[in-house]
């Protein structure tokens, strides 16, 4: 995995992990399977992921304690980034002062066909496309599944040429 420098001196790998999906349904409450959430967090370190993104609104106040439980004491090279400003008023509800707009990948026909030609999933191609960007882009996909985490991480080994990226960009 290539690296990204935060703040001029903090190096992390260019694929992070987002913790929104380790909470309950609609990003509300605790996860259905506590042990699976802990396993996903521990698997991030095994896969070399050293940037974990979280927020106090995930749950709310669920993902951060799970991180502490799973990874304490955490390795010195682990970066845990958190954010605030969003308020949760119920399952699936975000307060007006910060309602997030979740990034949605453009799952075009071109992307799916390209993924099949490289024996990859569309998600892996989408992540590889982001990783092919200049190193100021750091994708942080989230999942509640250790298997899906491994699949996402495999995108780091998918090399796209400049022509591949241009073709995917044009189709998006």
Q: What does the alpha-carbon distance between residue 132 and residue 157 come to, in Å, rounded to a whole number?
A: 11
Residue carrying the six token digits 């990783």: 131
Q: Does 58 qualify as catalytic in the annotation? A: yes
Which of these is catalytic: 58, 70, 124, 140? 58
Exposed, middle or buried by CB within 10 Å (0-12, 13-18, 19+), for 97?
Answer: exposed
Dihedral sign for Cα 120, 126, 127, 133, please: positive
Token pair belonging to 22: 């380790």
The set of catalytic residues is: 58
């Amino acid at each position: 995995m290539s690296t990204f420098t935060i703040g001029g001196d903090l190096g992390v790998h260019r694929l992070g992990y987002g913790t929104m999906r380790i909470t309950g349904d609609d990003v509300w409450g605790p996860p259905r399977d506590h042990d699976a959430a802990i396993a996903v967090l521990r698997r991030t370190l095994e896969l070399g992921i050293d940037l974990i993104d979280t927020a106090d609104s995930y749950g709310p106040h669920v993902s951060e304690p799970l991180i502490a439980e799973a990874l304490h004491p955490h390795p010195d090279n682990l970066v845990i980034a958190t954010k605030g400003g969003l308020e949760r008023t119920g399952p699936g509800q975000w307060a007006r002062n910060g309602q997030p707009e979740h990034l949605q990948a453009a799952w075009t026909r071109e992307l799916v066909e390209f993924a099949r030609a490289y024996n990859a999933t569309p998600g892996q191609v989408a992540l590889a496309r982001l990783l092919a960007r200049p190193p100021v882009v750091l994708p942080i996909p989230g999942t509640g599944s250790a298997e899906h985490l491994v699949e996402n991480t495999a995108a780091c080994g998918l090399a796209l040429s400049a022509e591949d990226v241009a073709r995917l960009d044009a189709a998006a």
